[in-house]
């Protein structure tokens, strides 16, 4: 089965504001996609009945029929059930996000969004959609892993709690996202203050990650981030948890860890990363290093922002003085 080229992909952009449609269209035009447009819900539904789209960008807040209802009606047609729908919305509260997943969306972007992020999300979901169709058509017996994921997705459709979990996890790495980080750390700081407890966190940034992307492309770059996330997860035990902080940055929260223990854990993760071959199916694989910064409550900082800022500053000190090490402001000064 031949894969489609970018120019053969058909994308439907739905928004009641023509200027918003034009902004998205101008961004995606650079990739050569074919595009169709609709300025209201009924027109969008009609277009999906008459045409076959590879991806739909759908605004939520529209008069007469909002994006949730448009999504529900599109998904009600078995022929359109698998089409990836990405919500473009100014709503970023948890309940709105959960409702979007319940309706069948695969992703969302908060307005205003960057052009690079829109291009990356669209390309990722088009590639995933294409891959699923190719594997299913070629041989169902070779798609065990995909079938398991589909089963998980079917279970998620009937589990609101699971959707709530999706809203606090990073879709690429499976780690917690920053929404969960700030909420959970607020609780942890309050508990530690009331009970006289300590905790620590690690801020890490992959060294020279741009070289990986430049050498292997964005999709493999995303795969590397997912594999690094697994390395971090294998080094920690609950109640410790890891967070995809953004780009190639990660945060590890370690309840109960003191200053010496967090230094030891950061060094363990650093060595584990250095000794792991990422993208093993690529020739020679990819070898990574990272810079680490740590902070401990309450000795180094006494609130969320200060904890993160202290660890980030310590990590930046490592970045500017050789990389591939564990830093802390106590040593830095």
Using DSSP, state whether 58 is helix, strand or coil: strand
pLDDT higher for 329 or 296?
296
What are the extents of the domains in the chain? 6-167, 178-332
Question: Per residue in 280-317, pLDDT tens?
Answer: 988 889 999 999 999 999 999 999 999 999 999 999 99
- For 59, the token pair is 């605004």
Question: Per residue in 92-128, pLDDT tens?
Answer: 777 877 887 888 888 888 888 888 888 988 898 888 8
Alpha helices in 37-114 (DSSP H): 41-50, 67-76, 94-103
Nearest to 100 by CA among 113, 84, 87, 109: 87
Is residue 139 very low, low, confident or very high in pLDDT (cuts 50, 70, 90)?
Answer: low
Is residue 144 very low, low, confident or very high in pLDDT (cuts 50, 70, 90)?
Answer: low
**Res 136: pLDDT:** 64
Question: Per residue in 145-161, pLDDT tens?
Answer: 656 777 786 765 666 66
- For 127, the token pair is 């590639």
Is the model's pLDDT at 132 over the cut of 60?
yes
Is the model's pLDDT at 279 over the cut of 60?
yes
Using DSSP, state whether 16 is helix, strand or coil: coil
How many other C-beta atoms can be found within 10 angstroms of the C-beta atom of residue 35?
16
Check if 6-167 and 178-332 are the same fold.
no
Is the model's pLDDT at 257 over the cut of 80?
yes
**Res 223: pLDDT:** 94
* Residue linked to tokens 């967070």: 243
- For 208, the token pair is 């020279």
The CATH class of 178-332 is alpha beta
Is residue 64 very low, low, confident or very high in pLDDT (cuts 50, 70, 90)?
Answer: confident
| DSSP for residue 5 | P
Is residue 6 very low, low, confident or very high in pLDDT (cuts 50, 70, 90)?
Answer: low
**Mean pLDDT value of segment 29-57:** 92
Is the model's pLDDT at 331 over the cut of 90?
no
Q: Any bridge partners for residue 254, and if so which?
A: 200
Nearest to 173 by CA among 227, 121, 232, 128: 227
* CATH-assigned architecture of domain 6-167: 3-Layer(aba) Sandwich (3.40)
Rounded to two decimals, the pTM is 0.52
């Amino acid at each position: 089965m031949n894969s489609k080229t970018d120019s053969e992909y058909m994308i439907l952009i739905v928004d009641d504001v023509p200027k918003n449609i034009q902004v998205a269209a101008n961004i995606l035009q650079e990739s050569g996609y074919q595009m169709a447009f609709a300025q209201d819900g009924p027109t969008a539904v009609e277009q999906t009945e008459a045409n076959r789209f590879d991806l739909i960008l759908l605004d939520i807040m529209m008069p007469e029929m909002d994006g949730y209802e448009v999504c529900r009606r599109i998904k009600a047609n078995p022929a359109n059930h698998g089409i990836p729908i990405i919500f473009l919305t100014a709503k970023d509260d948890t309940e709105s996000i959960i409702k979007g997943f319940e309706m069948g969306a695969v992703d969302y972007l908060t307005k205003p969004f960057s052009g690079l992020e829109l291009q990356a999300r669209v390309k990722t979901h088009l590639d995933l959609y294409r891959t699923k169709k190719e594997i299913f058509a070629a041989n169902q017996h070779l798609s065990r892993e995909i079938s398991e994921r589909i089963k998980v997705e079917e279970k998620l459709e009937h589990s609101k709690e699971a959707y709530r979990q999706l809203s606090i996890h990073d879709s690429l790495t499976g780690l917690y996202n920053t929404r969960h980080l700030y909420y959970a750390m607020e609780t942890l700081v309050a508990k530690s203050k009331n009970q006289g407890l300590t905790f620590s966190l690690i801020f890490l940034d992959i060294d020279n990650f741009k070289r990986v992307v430049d050498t292997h492309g964005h999709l493999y770059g995303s795969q590397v981030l997912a594999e690094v996330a697994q390395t971090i997860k294998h080094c920690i035990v609950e109640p410790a948890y890891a967070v995809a902080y953004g780009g190639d940055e990660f945060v590890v929260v370690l309840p109960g860890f003191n200053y010496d223990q967090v230094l030891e854990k950061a060094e363990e993760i650093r060595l584990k990363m250095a000794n792991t071959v990422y993208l093993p199916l690529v020739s020679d694989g990819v070898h990574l290093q990272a810079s680490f910064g740590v902070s401990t409550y309450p000795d180094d900082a006494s609130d969320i922002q200060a904890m993160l800022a202290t660890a980030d500053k310590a990590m930046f000190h490592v970045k500017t003085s050789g990389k591939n090490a564990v830093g802390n402001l106590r040593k830095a000064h």
